Amino acid sequence: MARRTKIHVGLEIGTSKTCIVVGEVKPDSAVKILGIGVTKSAGVRKGEISDFPQARACLKDALAKAEDASDVEIGSVYLSITGSHMQGVNNRGAFRLPDNQQNILPEHLEEACSIARDVHYPQDHVCLHTIIRKYLVDGLDQSASPVGLFAKTVEADFHVVHGIGNRIQNSIKLVRECPLEVDDIVFAPIATAQMALDREQRLRGALLIDIGGGTTDYALYLEGAIAASGCIPVGGDHVTNDIHLVTGLPFSKAEKLKILEGNASADPSLSVGVAKLTDDSGFADVEVKRAILNEVIRQRLEETLKLVRDRLPKGGVEAIGAGVFLTGGTSLMNGFSELAFDVFGRDIYRPEPSENTNSDHPSFKDPRYATAIGLIRYAQILETENSKPPGCLGRLFRLFWPFGR
């Protein structure tokens, strides 16, 4: 039977923008982006909903734009979640085989997986993802299922992502009131990684950093598996606010000055002279010394990147072979790649959708849309994995859904 095309929709409700991407998965697994709907966010602070009516109005506007652009009536979405309450931890579960059994059975492996998934977290948190990293047989790594091997002990190593249940539930409630169904909820950097990183890059070691308006998400992959993930409640809006505080400029003009004239590089030749904004008549409306402007920008962004670096496991930066991959609107800041190289000492890249993600619209190479496009890829992977036999062996991603449908 011929495979049919499938429509998936990714939704990101961010601090600075609300973005919906509609994608069509072809029978050959190629993804065609059909349309995008984006609007400036309101009622969202540091990636979390702070004003429900405002956030709902923005979502409805983005939904109307996405449906018009794609000519698709949207009924459900894959929803990305972020916020400083989201935490990713690694946990290992071990099971010792009974003395009268020498081969690992499926139930032995499932017991090890169950122990690994049983992470202790605050009472108000819920588990969002449990992702298998690797198995171990008598202490030796196994990338594939160890069922059937001779062993005394079998271990499962998982990456577990959890966050505050009420905050996640509020995002789901917002979507359902539009009204839309939620196909799945995905921690934002895990979704972004589906677009930004290929299999070879993950095997060589890659760090994804998605720096938006109010948050900075990150995910580290080593030897093909996720090694760390998290969210820092700092983003590009904090840079703008710093400029506002130092110069006394209104926030809107500080933002414009940052984008048009700012530079995060430490190169002193780029901090000479005066940065200017002109009014509608072409006369200088704002004048700020470039040395001051660039120092303010660099200090905040350097601090943010160092916060990410300090959260990585010991030896994590040294193990990055493929490089550091930057996405999000703030990654477009002039000199940001140079600053990231200074902090991490690794090659810096701005990823684009893969060759089998097709669209004629230039916006789809914009790093600001990486998460929403990544959700389409995530949906594609999840659909493939769901077609496999269930159980600990069958799925790359496991999502516990503690919320009512």
Cα–Cα distance, 371 to 108 (Å, whole number): 37
pLDDT of residue 31: 86
Task: Please give the class, per CATH, of domain 198-350.
Answer: alpha beta
pLDDT at position 401 is 41
Report the pLDDT value the prediction gives residue 128, as an integer from 0 to 100. 95
C-alpha to C-alpha distances, 57 to 36, 60, 74, 254, nearest whole angstrom:
17, 5, 16, 26
Mean pLDDT for each 10-residue chunk of the chain (405 residues)?
Answer: 77 95 86 93 91 96 97 97 96 96 95 95 94 95 92 96 96 95 96 94 97 96 97 96 96 94 94 87 80 97 98 97 96 96 97 62 72 94 69 37 40
* Sequence ranges of the domains in the chain: 88-161+392-398, 198-350
Predicted TM-score (pTM) of this structure: 0.91
Label residue 46 left, alpha or beta by phi (over 0 means left) and psi (-120 to 50 means alpha).
left
Output the pLDDT for position 368. Answer: 85
List of residues 6+ apart from 221 with CB closer than 8 A: 193, 197, 201, 202, 205, 206, 207, 208, 227
Tokens of 177: 């009131």
Task: Match 């789809």 to its residue by tokens.
Answer: 364
SS3 208: strand
Alpha carbon separation from 158 to 85, 133, 220 (Å, rounded): 20, 5, 14
CATH architecture for residues 88-161+392-398: 2-Layer Sandwich (3.30)
The pLDDT assigned to 341 comes to: 98
